[in-house]
């Protein structure tokens, strides 16, 4: 392996795309030509009902396949660091660490209330064929029938359901289907954030500190040059101070607090706070 795998971990709608897209502006830092590669991570475990993979699910066959796919993308003379960002990975960090024990991990956390409103928009959005087609080339051929059927079901649910949402979106945590039957969509988004943050945070306590960089969305968007510089040093990436402004010019904090305001206006904030409060406090957020 001639490159360093760098895996961005974060709940959906926590700034993982923004962080990946910023870092890949740096020479030698590459990623996949699609948004996520959950299909690759799930190969040989494709029918498992959720994304909470355990370390023992990283069999030798799984490791060999995933290493091969990473090498196909990363083993060239121009790549020093290969960045991967799949939000479902926040539920299976132990599984990832078993596959890549020498990887570097960047854990980004965002205020759960802001995440809820942003995630809700994705749950209720239309499926985008062009977005999915970019991922299609990375679906293992033997898994195509499984994903084709699930895409069909998700599309039908959005069209015919009275709930005005997709059947599923984002990281699938254990028990999510039951939550969808019993709670509002905002509350399900809150549970989704909580499970993603809690499971990742717990897993990172078992990984050497020098392999993990923790960053908060609010800090990153307030002082992007400072934190991207820190992340570059953590990754071992060469950079020039003069280029940091250009690299970080698309990062802004315009969305900070908007979700909280929307939840308050819709009288949903109290219920969401009840779900996320303890996890928020562990990360020094005020609720």
Determine the angle formed by the axes of helices 269-282 and 185-204, rounding to 10 degrees: 0
pLDDT tens, residue order, the chain (287 aa): 899 999 999 999 999 999 999 999 999 999 999 999 999 999 999 999 999 999 999 999 999 999 999 999 999 878 999 999 999 999 999 999 999 999 999 999 999 999 999 999 999 997 676 777 778 889 999 999 999 988 888 877 887 888 889 999 999 999 999 999 999 999 999 999 999 999 999 999 999 999 999 999 999 999 999 999 999 999 999 988 889 999 999 999 999 999 999 999 999 999 999 999 999 999 999 98
Q: Are 190 and 277 in contact (CB under 8 A)?
A: no
| Radius of gyration of the chain measured on its C-alpha atoms | 19
CA atoms of 219 and 227, how far apart (whole Å)? 8
- Which domains does the chain carry? 4-282 (3.40.50.300)
- Distances in Å between the Cα of 162 and the Cα atoms of 137, 167, 234 are 33, 11, 48
CB distance 195 to 279 below 8 Å: no
State the residue for tokens 């795998």.
Answer: 5
Element (H, E) at 9: strand 4-9
**CB distance 108 to 283 below 8 Å:** no
pLDDT at position 150:
87
The CA-based angle 273-277-283, given to 5 degrees, is: 135
Contacts of 95 (CB under 8 A, 6+ apart): 53, 54, 55, 57, 58
172/145 Cα distance (integer angstroms): 20
Does residue 79 come out as left (phi exceeding 0), alpha (psi in the -120 to 50 range) or beta?
A: beta
DSSP letters for 246-282: HHTTT---TTTTHHHHHHHHTT-HHHHHHHHHHHHHH
pLDDT of residue 137: 86
What is d(CA 260, CA 146) in angstroms, rounded to the nearest whole number? Answer: 37
Strand order in the sheet with 212-216: 29-30, 81-85, 4-9, 104-109, 212-216
Q: How far apart are the first and last CA of the chain?
A: 44
Q: What pTM was estimated for this model as a whole?
A: 0.95
Query: What pLDDT does 49 receive?
Result: 97
pLDDT at 256 (0 to 100):
98
CB 52 within 8 A of CB 96: no
Predicted confidence at residue 155, as pLDDT, reads 74
Angle between helices 269-282 and 258-265 (to 10 degrees): 150
pLDDT confidence of residue 208: 99
């Amino acid at each position: 392996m001639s490159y360093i795998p760098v895996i961005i971990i974060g709940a959906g709608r926590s700034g993982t795309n923004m962080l990946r897209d910023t870092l890949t502006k740096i020479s030698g830092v590459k990623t996949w030509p699609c948004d996520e590669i959950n299909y690759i991570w799930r190969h040989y475990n494709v029918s498992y009902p959720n994304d909470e993979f355990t370390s023992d699910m990283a069999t030798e066959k799984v490791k060999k396949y995933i290493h091969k796919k990473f090498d196909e993308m990363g083993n060239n003379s121009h790549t020093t660091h290969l960045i991967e960002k799949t939000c479902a990975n926040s539920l299976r960090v132990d599984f990832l660490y078993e596959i890549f024990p020498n990887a570097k991990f960047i854990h980004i956390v965002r205020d759960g209330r802001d995440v809820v409103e942003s995630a809700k928009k994705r749950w209720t959005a239309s499926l985008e064929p062009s977005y999915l087609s970019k991922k299609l080339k990375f679906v293992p051929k033997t898994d195509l029938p499984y994903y084709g059927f699930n895409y069909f079901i998700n599309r039908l649910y959005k069209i015919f359901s009275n709930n005005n949402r997709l059947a599923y979106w984002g990281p699938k945590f254990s028990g999510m289907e039951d939550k969808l039957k019993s709670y509002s969509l905002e509350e399900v988004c809150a549970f989704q954030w909580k499970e993603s943050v809690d499971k990742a945070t717990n897993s990172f306590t078992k990984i050497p500190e020098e392999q993990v960089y923790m960053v908060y969305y609010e800090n990153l968007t307030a002082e992007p040059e400072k934190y991207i510089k820190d992340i570059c040093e953590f990754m071992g990436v060469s950079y020039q101070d003069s280029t940091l402004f250009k690299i970080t010019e698309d990062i802004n904090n315009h969305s900070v607090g908007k979700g909280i305001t929307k939840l308050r206006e819709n009288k949903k904030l109290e219920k969401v706070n009840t779900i996320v409060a303890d996890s928020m406090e562990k990360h020094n957020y005020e609720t």
